[in-house]
Amino acid sequence: MDPTLVLLTVEEAARRLGIGRTTCYSLISSGEIESVTVGRLRRVPAEAIAQFVTRLRASVSSEKAA
């Protein structure tokens, strides 16, 4: 896996997150993970993975504070 890639396939994004492909597609459909269409291909911007993890961590820490 090339860490310099700007756009990842859904499978690569799922692998980086340690989740299944179907779960990754669900997160994309719900808008939790950003994706773009290039021609007929669905791609996930690499920074969208970091943003998703940041939001997850923030929601966990806000739940602990409550």
Tokens 């990842």 belong to residue: 8
The pLDDT confidence band at residue 1, using thresholds 50, 70 and 90, is: low
The pLDDT confidence band at residue 37, using thresholds 50, 70 and 90, is: very high
What mean pLDDT do residues 51-65 have? 87
* Residue 28: per-residue pLDDT: 97
Average pLDDT score, the chain: 92
The pLDDT confidence band at residue 30, using thresholds 50, 70 and 90, is: very high
Compute the distance between CA of residue 59 and CA of residue 63 in angstroms, rounded to an integer: 6
* Residue 2: per-residue pLDDT: 67
Report the candidate in 39, 30, 35, 40 with the shortest Cα–Cα distance to residue 11.
35
> How many other CB atoms are found less than 10 A from the CB of residue 53?
12
Q: Which two tokens stand for residue 25?
A: 């597609």
Q: Cα–chain-centroid distance for residue 38?
A: 17
> How many other CB atoms are found less than 10 A from the CB of residue 25?
17
